[in-house]
Structure 1
């Protein structure tokens, strides 16, 4: 065990620290998370409008309430790429040290994203239009690339002081607009050249190129249960050593899972099965109660503690664990570097996730939609919000599985604490 800990500290953790502190990944992660309100808004209306009860669906149809509800996802989740083009550039500008130009950077990125989006011609109407297919899931990776490139180019212009200077007394917003004018002209021109370059290839557009060569293969890779479980294992190993493993893994999964969310929401709205079962919902299952699926540990502690130490501690960690916050138990118990808890901490998420995925594959439970930001909801309620009552019911079974796996390891620690407390009383007497 000492050799393993030494290896992790020397070889693995430095790499993980570099990944989690990478400013590009931070920009993508922060920009994506800033869209939580938009994503939840669209997801809630998708869930409400897709409840599969015939009288309810007839009511929505007759009253046209269903039509109104379907407007919301079409302009939120179905346009995620468009929103990400702005949000990543806006948040990333602050991360890369040009916060004063954050708004301008966001808008320039948005313009360049739209510039790369192909237009569909309609000869009969003598018009062209933007297809929402390119503004949603299909455009997520292009939005990321455009945002990060725009940030770097804007940063270069600001640092080299290649901007228009306005005299004192000019309103601040006007000054910022003119400051970003020269970078905007250059950046837009560069992306215009890129657009033309792709237009003479067989791909026709940058979006189709990126989607075909990068996004589709990555989605197939992360759609594999084995790859997903490996990422979960890596995340929990990092947490065991006191490093925020989710911040290492989620930036990798975030853009792909956001693409899944758009596809899944569209399928559910059309009355079809969820095409991507491995999504944010399954990730939340692996983190039931927090990373390591510690919901079982804190429940065991709350129900079965004999020692004063853990009885008192459970009153703090059990309520927070119900809502997916387990930093108190990870750092306070601690789980971190506690060899006694390493096996259940790594094993529990793999067991409940694998079983959940197997039940989904067999059609016994319905896959979650994959809504981002629902991880703080308690078991059962989380599943309902994810559009799957059966998934929520399974989460209750997952809590029981987690309790069973953690129980013998926790009771060993609890018995040790009881003995220590008894010894302390005898010495005090």
Structure 2
């Protein structure tokens, strides 16, 4: 077993180190973490718009609360600003964070990334004819602001900021100002030519791409890269791969959720945003892989559904230390905090618990997929803040009482998977006591 652990560790450690230290991956991860509060606000704005302000299905349908319809435009505007415009905000945040890591002023890098992105997305031409003249103006296509533009936003932010950082190293292309000029103004003039090169280059590339292919770059990115990648991850096989990598990293003492978040967070945010827009337009939400799915079927009671293991140990373990540690870890697990159990029992590098720790969330995840596939639970349209207790957090995400018994099923399934291995641990413990 030790030899196998060593071999797997040699394979995983470079991957984990790369995911935790790579400048671009960590910046993408930090960007989605920073944007999460906006997603929560936007999803709740959509929820309030329907539950409170709708005069057909909401509280406003009651005469005494009819005044709530006056608030609907405000909630809709908030939802548009946070959900429908997420790509615009993501590109700026990502550009700013990456620029800061490159030793640049974050707001300059954010502005470069933002302007480059705007120059690449569709711009609808509108003509207004009055008595004097025809006025032609460009209006941005709102369909390019939402989650469909996330992949392009990420690539544009990285490429534009890195190119700008590279050009800023050449002193000969900087406009030098006298020493008497304040530093802020001097820095702005220094950046004029590098910024112009990056912006013109991006705009020219976007125009040439459109002329050559007939598609805007964001449309190509979504159809060729983002949509297929999202479709693959929203399959049983994709789910198994994500969960397996997360759990196996955890078992080796590496925060699997954090390592994989640069992949999963973007997918969950994009899925949630697409669901919200679908519901707001009168369609049906179809993306099941969201944060609500994660906290309900993959990490309920902690990563690996660890709360089921704790209950199993309390009821059936013959090791007093396991019982006492499990009781101490139970309260954090009620809030889906698994670190005390990971390092306290410990689950990490425990050869007996490896199989159920990996297997339990895979099985419960597939159960969650089946629940959505057969229509027992509608796809989530609301994000939830971390720290809510089990049952309450999934209920907020799905707004359905069905999620309560579904959560109970998840805990039972995980419990039954852990139980045989706890009994095996008991037999090994008895042999140790007998000195066998």
TM range (shorter): 0.7 to 0.9
Determine if the alignment matches structure 1 residue 293 to structure 2 residue 305.
yes
2:419 matched to which residue of 1? 407
Alignment partner of 1:147 out of 154, 157, 160: 157
Looking at structure 1, the residues matched to 177 and 307 of structure 2 have their Cα atoms a distance apart, in angstroms, of 58
1:207 matched to which residue of 2? 218
2:132 matched to which residue of 1? none
Looking at structure 2, the residues matched to 291 and 171 of structure 1 have their Cα atoms a distance apart, in angstroms, of 53
Q: Could you say what the CA RMSD is over the residues aligned between the two structures, in angstroms?
A: 2.9
Determine if the alignment matches structure 1 residue 56 to structure 2 residue 67.
no
Looking at structure 2, the residues matched to 107 and 287 of structure 1 have their Cα atoms a distance apart, in angstroms, of 37
Alignment partner of 1:133 out of 143, 157, 163: 143
Contact kept, 8 Å, 1:31 with 1:89, in 2: the verdict is no
1:269 matched to which residue of 2? 280
SS of the equivalent of 2:125 reads strand
Deviation at 1:199, TM superposition (A): 2.7
SS of the equivalent of 1:120 reads strand
- Matches for 1:4-403 after TM superposition, within 5 Å: 4-51=4-51, 54=57, 56=59, 58-59=61-62, 63-64=68-69, 65-95=71-101, 97-98=102-103, 100-124=104-128, 126-161=136-171, 163-164=174-175, 173-284=184-295, 285-301=297-313, 307-369=319-381, 371=383, 374=385, 376-389=387-400, 390-403=402-415
Deviation at 1:79, TM superposition (A): 0.7
SS of the equivalent of 1:201 reads helix
1:115-144 deviations in whole A, cap 9, x for unaligned? 112111223464331122101112111110
Looking at structure 1, the residues matched to 288 and 43 of structure 2 have their Cα atoms a distance apart, in angstroms, of 16
1:427 matched to which residue of 2? none
Aligned pair count reads: 419
Structure 1 residue ranges without an equivalent (≥5):
424-429
Contact kept, 8 Å, 2:308 with 2:415, in 1: the verdict is yes
**Which deviates further from its counterpart, 200-209 or 114-123?**
200-209
1:426 matched to which residue of 2? none
1:331-383 deviations in whole A, cap 9, x for unaligned? 22211110111111011101111112112111122222373x64543222222
- Cα gap change, 1:337 to 1:212, in 2 (>3 Å): same
Structure 2 residue ranges without an equivalent (≥5):
130-135
Looking at structure 1, the residues matched to 67 and 126 of structure 2 have their Cα atoms a distance apart, in angstroms, of 33
Contact kept, 8 Å, 2:356 with 2:418, in 1: the verdict is yes
Looking at structure 2, the residues matched to 168 and 324 of structure 1 have their Cα atoms a distance apart, in angstroms, of 57
Deviation at 1:101, TM superposition (A): 1.8
Looking at structure 2, the residues matched to 370 and 238 of structure 1 have their Cα atoms a distance apart, in angstroms, of 29
SS of the equivalent of 2:270 reads helix
